[in-house]
Amino acid sequence: MRINYDIHDLQAFIAVAERASFRQAAADLFLSQSALSRRIEKLEEALGVRLFERTTRHVQLTNVGQTFLVNVRTALDSLEDAVLGVADLAAHRTGTVTFACVPSAVWHFLPDVLTRFSERFPRIRVRVHDESAQDVLNLVLAGEADFGINFTGAENPEIVFEPIFVENYVLAMRHDHRLAKRKKLSWKDTVGERYISVAKSSGNRSVIDAALAGIEKHPLILCEVNHVSGVLALVEAGMGVAAVPGLSVLPGRQDGIVGVPLVNPQINRTLGLITKRNHSMAPAARTLFEMLSESLVKRSPARSRVSSRR
């Protein structure tokens, strides 16, 4: 059953109840007494009950009217909170931004941008999922992340891929390794080394295997682990060397691991900001996305040479 009244009728009811006077309520609401009376009559007719006992001298709530007043005040307060909550979100005052990214991008790209974002919007909570490339893609596709930083997804028709950084692969080794001082290394130079690698299920492994498919002599992989962080831990322990994305081994690491660029062939991957096509991000998420995009463009002169699938 449709009850025919609106919020103005409820506000008129509260005004009369609080003032116990149609004359005073009408004056405060800038209405004529007849217009106010019609609103109350409309509300009573819609509800099928009398809300006020009226005499020539005073106006008093009925028992039903007293109960209704409590409920209306609660409902209008909740409505006001909801409206203010939306306004807060639109103004970036509250809320949560969730995004996913491959682990190598976390400490290289995020700290500066997240610090600036937090300073501007201290009440916005940021949740970061540092996951494998496939997991990052799945989180964005499922709508569990507002956006992602990933090197896969460009060929997925449901994904918009905005390239931001071309990352070359390097040979990771201890700083005291015999090849650590070289400016670059061909894959042929490293054939005799003990290789540690991520597993075949890893996106990094797929990139390397595809690039080396035409090479006569492949490196011999003696140990496999699931994540690059595990690979680097074994490299640090002196178990061997590893081909990893350059962001994983940047100068200044405390563990003493260095990375020498690999050539012939040179292997790279393109990191990008990914979003689900036709997905509308909340204002706070859109702002963080744009801040990351701007920051990463400045760090990547190679960005102009990669294309985006729109």
CATH of the domain at 189: 3.40.190.10
Query: Consecutive 10-residue runs of the chain (310 residues): their mean pLDDT?
Result: 72 89 88 91 90 84 91 81 59 76 80 88 88 90 92 90 88 93 92 89 82 77 88 92 87 77 90 90 86 74 39
In a domain, 310, yes or no: no
Both 41 and 186 in one domain: the answer is no
The pLDDT of residue 207: 82
Distance from C-alpha of 222 to C-alpha of 228, rounded to nearest angstrom: 15
User: Which of 73, 90, 107 is the endpoint of a domain?
Assistant: 90
Both 75 and 215 in one domain: the answer is no
What would the two tokens of residue 163 be? 């390239």
Both 137 and 184 in one domain: the answer is no
**Position 76: which residue type?**
L
Domain of 299?
95-164+270-305
What would the two tokens of residue 33 be? 């007494």
Chain centre distance of CA 101: 10
Report DSSP letters for 224-281, one per residue: EESSHHHHHHHHHTTS-BEEEEGGGS-TT-TT-EEEEEEESS--EEEEEEEEETT---
Both 250 and 280 in one domain: the answer is no
In a domain, 1, yes or no: no
Which residue is listed with tokens 């690979």?
231
Cβ neighbors of 6 (< 8 A, separation 6 or more) are none
Q: Are 241 and 196 in contact (CB under 8 A)?
A: yes
In a domain, 2, yes or no: no
The pLDDT of residue 275: 94
The pLDDT of residue 303: 40
The pLDDT of residue 94: 61
The pLDDT of residue 129: 92
Judged by DSSP in three states, 66 sits in helix
Number of domains making up the chain? 3
The pLDDT of residue 229: 85
Task: Give the pTM.
Answer: 0.61
The pLDDT of residue 299: 59
